[in-house]
Amino acid sequence: MSEKINYCEITVQKILKVSGNNIHLIFDKNSENIYTKSIIELNADEEIINIKSDEDNNNKVKIHVGSKNKMQEISISADKLKIEGDIFSEIININSNGLISNAYIRSKIYNFKGNGLYLNNVLNSDKISLDSNGIKTSVEIENNQLFDIDANGVAGKIKFRDNLPTKMNLNCMGGLISLYMSEKKVFDINQPTKGTLVKKILIQ
What pLDDT is attached to residue 180? 96
pLDDT of residue 9: 85
State residue 46's pLDDT score. Answer: 83
Q: Looking at the predicted structure, is the pLDDT value of residue 75 above 90?
A: yes
pLDDT for 25 equals: 96
**Residue 140: pLDDT over 70:** yes
Round to whole Å and give the CA distance between 72 and 68.
13
Checking if the pLDDT of 163 tops 90, the result is yes
pLDDT at 3: 64
Residue 18 has pLDDT above 70, yes or no: yes
pLDDT at 57 exceeding the cut of 60:
no
- Could you tell me the pTM of the whole model? 0.92
What mean pLDDT is predicted for residues 100-110? 94
| pLDDT tens figures, 183-200 | 999 999 998 877 788 999
The tens digit of pLDDT for each residue in 89-102 reads: 999 999 998 899 99
pLDDT at residue 79 in the model: 86
Q: How far is CA 201 from CA 33, 158, 198, in A?
A: 42, 10, 10
Picking from 63, 62, 77, 72, the residue whose alpha carbon sits closest to that of residue 18 is 77
Average pLDDT over residues 1-7: 66
Q: What is the pLDDT of residue 15?
A: 96
Of the pLDDT bands very low, low, confident and very high (cuts 50, 70, 90), residue 133 is confident
**The predicted structure's pLDDT at residue 196:** 86
3-state secondary structure the chain: CCEEECCEEEECCCEEEEEEEEEEEEEECCCCEEEECCCEEEEECCCEEEEEECCCCCCCEEEEEECCCCEEEEEEEEEEEEEEEEEEEEEEEEEEEEEEEEEEEEEEEEEEEEEEEEECCEEEEEEEEEEEEEEEEEEEEECCCEEEEEEEEEEEEEEECCCCCEEEEEEEEEEEEEEEEECCCCEEEECCCCCCEEEEEEEC
* 202, pLDDT greater than 80: yes
39: closest CA among 18, 17, 61?
61
